[in-house]
Amino acid sequence: MAEIAKNLLAWYDKERRHLPWRSAPGETANPYHVWLSEVMLQQTTVATVKSYFEKFLRLWPSVTDLAQAPQEAVLKEWAGLGYYARARNLHKCAREIEANYSGQFPTTEAELKKLPGIGDYTAAAIAAIAFDEPAAVVDGNIERVVSRLFRIEEQLPAAKKPIKAKTADITPTKRPGDFAQAMMDLGSGVCTPKNPKCLLCPIQSHCAAQSAGDMERFPIKAPKKIKPTRRAVSFWLEHDGHVLLERRPDKGLLGGMPGFFSTPWVECDSTPELSEAAAHAPADTDWQAGADIAKHTFTHFHLETRLLKGQAIQRINVENGFWHPIDALSDVGLPTVFSKIAKLAD
Ligand code: SF4
């Protein structure tokens, strides 16, 4: 077991990825940077996260600065990263650290887990990388590496338990944070889902799947469920160079984000007809339907949306609605799904 950590750390010292939130090997990382990057990296690629991470640090260099920002500003800057509950929890967590921990991150995995939006993985990652606690860090990449190293035959998600236990077994007490990051890098660049580059792998001689020649069989996954398609119609109501937007309720999908008023997003065979959609329109006007459809995929479903365009005779007040200049629409922080819908108005 000790040999695995030794080989991997030696490889990391030479081959590690240089990422804006990382410190040099052996140096203590800033917990704010680790936390921010780890929250952003959930469900999002490193390439996409880099520019968001740098922008957030420019705007809010410390957790105290972030705590003092209005939630709306944080959501606006998060726009495009998706999974907006992360942004709401990020802000809530910053406020809690500021209020209850004097602006300092708690230093143990157990304490970190008590904070909003910090689950098992993020708590372990911060504890290991910023505070040198030998916590077992398991993300998707590490899950793959460990399941191959030990040929773990259980199917995910049941396999998570033995994977975590094996990760704990191989996590060293010295440089646990570098070890976790080395495992992430190995999974991302060497132990890839298809065609792992075993010849370049520093722990090849310890790998059970490589010996058996069935690396790609791991991790064993349950068959994929088919995603349902929900359909809706959105409303583009215009007046004097402005469009009516909706501030979505805080709770639920895309909570707190701006968007367009829409019919409910429901599973059905086609987008609702004008007569059906009218009941959900924010105003009674001569709605014109476009032929095109915007498509977007969420974690659990696909969404197909048509757009109805209409003119308002004045800037009417609608509950949760607000008017925004059309030529500044890109500044309002529309989630990607609504940016796609907005393009239908062109
Ligand atoms: Fe992954 Fe191959 Fe290394 Fe095993 S030997 S951990 S399958 S890259």
Q: Which phi-psi region, left, alpha or beta, contains residue 82 (left: φ > 0; alpha: ψ -120 to 50)?
A: left
Residues 62-111 pLDDT 10s: 999 999 999 999 999 999 898 888 999 999 999 999 999 999 999 999 99
Q: Which of 38, 109, 133, 246 is catalytic?
A: 38
Q: How far is the CA of 67 from the centre of ligand 1 (A)?
A: 42
Q: In a mutational test of the pocket of ligand 1, which residue from 7, 143, 207, 217 has the highest number of ligand atoms less than 8 Å from its CB?
A: 207
Q: How far is the CA of 161 from the centre of ligand 1 (A)?
A: 20
Q: What is the pLDDT of residue 223?
A: 87
The residue whose C-alpha atom lies closest to atom 2 belonging to ligand 1 is: 198
The residue whose C-alpha atom lies closest to atom 5 belonging to ligand 1 is: 204
Q: Which phi-psi region, left, alpha or beta, contains residue 131 (left: φ > 0; alpha: ψ -120 to 50)?
A: alpha
Q: What is the C-alpha separation between 310 and 278, in angstroms, rounded?
A: 12
Q: What is the pLDDT of residue 84?
A: 87
Domains along the chain with CATH numbers: 2-217 (1.10.340.30), 229-343 (3.90.79.10)
Q: What is the pLDDT of residue 160?
A: 97
8 A C-beta contact, residue 52 and residue 75: no
Q: How far is the CA of 223 from the centre of ligand 1 (A)?
A: 23
Give the count of beta carbons closer than 10 Å to the beta carbon of residue 273. 10
Nearest atom in ligand 1 to 186's CA: 8
**Structure tokens of 188?**
């991302």
Q: What is the pLDDT of residue 290?
A: 87
* Ranges of residues in the chain whose predicted pLDDT is under 70: none
Question: Known catalytic residue: 216?
Answer: no
The DSSP code for 289 is E
In 3D space, the residue among 65, 34, 40, 43 whose CA is nearest the CA of residue 52 turns out to be 40
8 A C-beta contact, residue 165 and residue 209: no
Helix (H, G, I), strand (E, B) or coil at 302: strand
SS (H, E, C) 7-28: HHHHHHHHHCCCCCCCCCCCCC
Single-letter amino acid, residue 127:
A
pTM for this structure?
A: 0.80
* Protein residues with CB under 6 Å of any ligand 1 atom: 145, 148-149, 190-191, 196, 198, 201, 203-204, 207, 209-210, 215
Helix (H, G, I), strand (E, B) or coil at 252: coil
Q: Where are the beta strands (DSSP E) in the chain?
A: 229-239, 242-247, 258-259, 266-267, 288-289, 294-297, 302-311, 321-325
Single-letter amino acid, residue 199:
L
Q: What is the pLDDT of residue 26?
A: 74
Q: What is the pLDDT of residue 339?
A: 96
Q: What is the C-alpha separation between 170 and 53, in angstroms, rounded?
A: 30
Nearest atom in ligand 1 to 198's CA: 2
Q: What value does the CA radius of gyration of the chain take, rounded to a whole number of Å?
A: 24
Q: What is the pLDDT of residue 250?
A: 87
In 3D space, the residue among 166, 269, 255 whose CA is nearest the CA of residue 219 turns out to be 166
